[in-house]
Chains A and B, each alone.
Chain A
């Protein structure tokens, strides 16, 4: 499908993780190379969102086994903020509201922190304003957005656009977008997907976590993975998503169970 000689940006082997003592991830294997788009699909409670949060370093989740390399470096040796500075990005399913903190201030601090870590120049408020307004056009965002508090009183669609705007500003190597399509109407979905497509380059990669295949009508994945009970049980191409759309997840689960029984 894709160039298998491209740089590996994310390599997960046997990743297990718990939340509040309950094992949610039961051995995840996943390889994401530069230039690739992966979709992770699966029923509710299969562990998709947990995987995103574990990779990004949410403190509520404990990694209990396995290994993950981010662009060759041990991911779990890094704190959440260090992972972001190293080029990992998580687009939140439910972005939190931060009253009193302006978007412009927040975005600039994030940008400058990440730029600083990459040894690049920081931008002063005026320079950053030009930079961010350029990026905002991509997502057809209203000018007044910068003066508002981070996600405070935003509609679902505005929050999701803000996530992609942050992705545009931070230019991550690997972006994990957790149900970015949920809660979006068809116009917002088109804008958000258009934004993501515009950001994809041969040097970065994107992992889309989603319930529905409709997002994949806009962003074409190279690989589709099906997650169930904390494992990736099936991997296929674009066509797998379409098959899931018509047949649901049960047949994949069934198929896996049978395969396990046969091998047992």
Chain B
């Protein structure tokens, strides 16, 4: 590998810092008492505690999945802290009362000004002056009857809705990490779009891992009723730690008749250092259920972080004519490992799915696409199109594609295309000989490679994603 390339892909993580905020922390380890503690801390109803305990019992009987193309030392689940919440604070009256450490964190991450206040826990109606963006935001949503809040708040305010849908897409015993999440999830987002409502804006949430050694178990539930539509954005980044952190989130999406859910993620968690020490283990279960006819669920992800990524945002296409989409860019560098892809399960008639996966590997990293397309006997007229492209930067990285195709209906159509390409010295030299520096050249090639996926992202996210990939590969470190 040329030195130019090597220098470019060896930029340190820029978002590595720890916010020194005191956290209220449970003792390490997992048992029924810890689960009861979490549940009582959060003031949960009995049914939710039962949900957790049932999941925990299930989890005890399971073993961690071994089939992914990743390698890591076993996670010590007893060494993890399962409950850590920032100390309970009164609602703050203005940004001046916010912990300066937290403000610095937002600064480094470039969190938009109007979101900082909300994230810092400032009562949204007093932020800034009369042109408070956040207030308008909340008000606009309430006006059309949309519920968008933390899942804890939803459990308190809308227990019947949460109870109806929680675990309906990803059952408590679905897989090892999903069961763990169901037992110990601490927070996440809840979003409910009532019948016929088109959400007037993009909904976004930032997730942060803030306490060292505390596993993160978010739980997100999005429900779109008949004819409703929503676009949801999830952005992640994390502080730099030497010890591995487990992150096992569960995201459930439910789309009823003619509903449309678009879920976009830009993920930039700490990936470990250039020698592969540290970094987040990101073992996530994301699944959408197209329950109603003509419903549509679309996943778009830009995965650039984590030491290990194990993630398959999937669609279960139960409603007739429903559509599932998966657009993904996964970038790995240094010693990162990613085993990511999707599952498209066709059950309803004339269901359609599209998979576009772009894997970029640099350094010593290992990047795998794993995807399942299943066409059930009931799914007559189902069709799928899959495209899996890999790009290699340098000589020591690897890319793999594991497509599983299971067609049980003779009228199904499945197409799969795959390519592998390489950014080589000659391509870079071509740019350079036209006056364009190597960094800009790589950025241009990568953006070209990822164009099909970036086009799916909401505008501001597309800009962010472009910057992020640039940062990961070309490094703007002075």
Interface residues of A (CB under 8 A from B): 56-60, 79-81, 83-85, 89-90, 92, 95-96, 98-102, 105-106, 109-110, 113-114, 117, 149, 166, 170
B448 near A: Cβ within 8 Å? yes
Given the interface contacts A59-B4, A109-B444, does A100 sit within 8 Å of B435 by beta carbon? no
Contact present for A100 and B432 (CB under 8 Å): no
Tell me which of B23-31, B392-400, B423-431 binds A: B423-431
Residues of B within 8 A of A117 (CB): 435
Contact present for B448 and A80 (CB under 8 Å): no
Residues of A within 8 A of B66 (CB): none
Contact present for B449 and A170 (CB under 8 Å): no
| Docked complex Cα distance between A79 and B441 (Å) | 14
* In the complex, residue of chain A having the shortest beta-carbon distance to the beta carbon of B424: A96
Which of A92, A109, A113, A149 meets B430, CB within 8 Å? Answer: A92
B437 near A: Cβ within 8 Å? yes
| Docked complex Cα distance between A114 and B433 (Å) | 11
Taken residue by residue from 408 to 451, chain B's Cβ proximity to chain A (1 for < 8 Å, 0 otherwise) reads as 00000000000001000111011111111110100011011101
Q: How far is the CB of B437 from chain A (nearest CB, A)?
A: 5
| Docked complex Cα distance between A23 and B449 (Å) | 37
Which of B429, B444, B445 meets A80, CB within 8 Å? Answer: B429
Contact present for B425 and A100 (CB under 8 Å): no
Which of B2, B440, B451 meets A59, CB within 8 Å? Answer: B2
Contact present for A110 and B435 (CB under 8 Å): yes
* In the complex, residue of chain A having the shortest beta-carbon distance to the beta carbon of B3: A59
Contact present for B444 and A81 (CB under 8 Å): no
Residues of A within 8 A of B433 (CB): 56-57, 80-81, 83-84, 89-90, 92
Which of A79, A105, A110 meets B434, CB within 8 Å? Answer: A110
Q: What are 6 contact pairs spanning A and B, CB under 8 A?
A: A81-B431, A81-B435, A81-B438, A96-B430, A98-B445, A101-B444
Residues of A within 8 A of B421 (CB): 99
Contact present for B448 and A109 (CB under 8 Å): no
Top 7 A-B residue pairs of the complex, sorted by shortest distance between their CB atoms = A100-B448, A80-B432, A110-B434, A84-B435, A101-B448, A114-B435, A113-B435
Contact present for B426 and A96 (CB under 8 Å): yes
Please give 5 more A-B residue pairs, beta carbons under 8 A apart, in addition to A105-B444, A113-B434: A59-B429, A100-B448, A101-B445, A110-B436, A170-B434
* In the complex, residue of chain A having the shortest beta-carbon distance to the beta carbon of B423: A98
Contact present for A149 and B448 (CB under 8 Å): yes
Contact present for B434 and A58 (CB under 8 Å): no
Q: How far is the CB of A132 from chain B (nearest CB, A)?
A: 14
Contact present for A100 and B4 (CB under 8 Å): no
| Docked complex Cα distance between A106 and B436 (Å) | 9
Given the interface contacts A84-B435, A113-B436, does A98 sit within 8 Å of B429 by beta carbon? no
Residues of B within 8 A of A109 (CB): 436, 440, 444
Contact present for B445 and A100 (CB under 8 Å): yes
* In the complex, residue of chain A having the shortest beta-carbon distance to the beta carbon of B2: A59
* In the complex, residue of chain A having the shortest beta-carbon distance to the beta carbon of B421: A99
| Docked complex Cα distance between A114 and B436 (Å) | 8
* In the complex, residue of chain A having the shortest beta-carbon distance to the beta carbon of B437: A81
Residues of B within 8 A of A110 (CB): 431, 434-436
Residues of A within 8 A of B438 (CB): 81
| Docked complex Cα distance between A14 and B217 (Å) | 67
| Docked complex Cα distance between A117 and B436 (Å) | 11
Residues of B within 8 A of A81 (CB): 431-438
Contact present for A98 and B430 (CB under 8 Å): yes
Which of B425, B434, B447, B448 meets A99, CB within 8 Å? Answer: B448
Q: How far is the CB of B438 from chain A (nearest CB, A)?
A: 8
Q: How far is the CB of B387 from chain A (nearest CB, A)?
A: 13
* In the complex, residue of chain B having the shortest beta-carbon distance to the beta carbon of A83: B433
| Docked complex Cα distance between A86 and B233 (Å) | 45
Contact present for A60 and B425 (CB under 8 Å): yes
Residues of B within 8 A of A80 (CB): 429, 432-433
| Docked complex Cα distance between A79 and B437 (Å) | 9
| Docked complex Cα distance between A79 and B440 (Å) | 15
| Docked complex Cα distance between A111 and B430 (Å) | 14
Residues of B within 8 A of A56 (CB): 429, 433
Residues of A within 8 A of B432 (CB): 57, 79-81, 84
* In the complex, residue of chain B having the shortest beta-carbon distance to the beta carbon of A117: B435
Contact present for B434 and A84 (CB under 8 Å): yes
| Docked complex Cα distance between A60 and B438 (Å) | 15
Q: How far is the CB of B282 from chain A (nearest CB, A)?
A: 27
| Docked complex Cα distance between A79 and B436 (Å) | 11
B:177-197 near A, CB below 8 Å: none
Residues of A within 8 A of B444 (CB): 101, 105-106, 109
| Docked complex Cα distance between A89 and B434 (Å) | 7
Contact present for B445 and A58 (CB under 8 Å): no
Residues of A within 8 A of B440 (CB): 109, 113
Contact present for B429 and A58 (CB under 8 Å): yes
| Docked complex Cα distance between A109 and B444 (Å) | 10
| Docked complex Cα distance between A106 and B432 (Å) | 12
**Centre residue among B429, B434, B451 by max chain A CB count within 10 A:** B434
Taken residue by residue from 22 to 51, chain B's Cβ proximity to chain A (1 for < 8 Å, 0 otherwise) reads as 000000000000000000000000000000
| Docked complex Cα distance between A101 and B438 (Å) | 15
| Docked complex Cα distance between A59 and B428 (Å) | 10
Given the interface contacts A98-B448, A100-B448, does A85 sit within 8 Å of B4 by beta carbon? no
Q: How far is the CB of B470 from chain A (nearest CB, A)?
A: 14
Residues of A within 8 A of B430 (CB): 92, 95-96, 98
| Docked complex Cα distance between A85 and B434 (Å) | 8
* In the complex, residue of chain B having the shortest beta-carbon distance to the beta carbon of A84: B435
* In the complex, residue of chain B having the shortest beta-carbon distance to the beta carbon of A102: B448
Q: How far is the CB of B141 from chain A (nearest CB, A)?
A: 37
**Centre residue among B433, B434, B435 by max chain A CB count within 10 A:** B435
Residues of B within 8 A of A102 (CB): 448
| Docked complex Cα distance between A83 and B435 (Å) | 7
* In the complex, residue of chain B having the shortest beta-carbon distance to the beta carbon of A110: B434
| Docked complex Cα distance between A110 and B436 (Å) | 6
| Docked complex Cα distance between A127 and B223 (Å) | 48
| Docked complex Cα distance between A58 and B424 (Å) | 12
Residues of B within 8 A of A89 (CB): 433
Q: How far is the CB of B429 from chain A (nearest CB, A)?
A: 5
Residues of B within 8 A of A114 (CB): 434-435
Q: How far is the CB of B360 from chain A (nearest CB, A)?
A: 12
Residues of B within 8 A of A85 (CB): 435
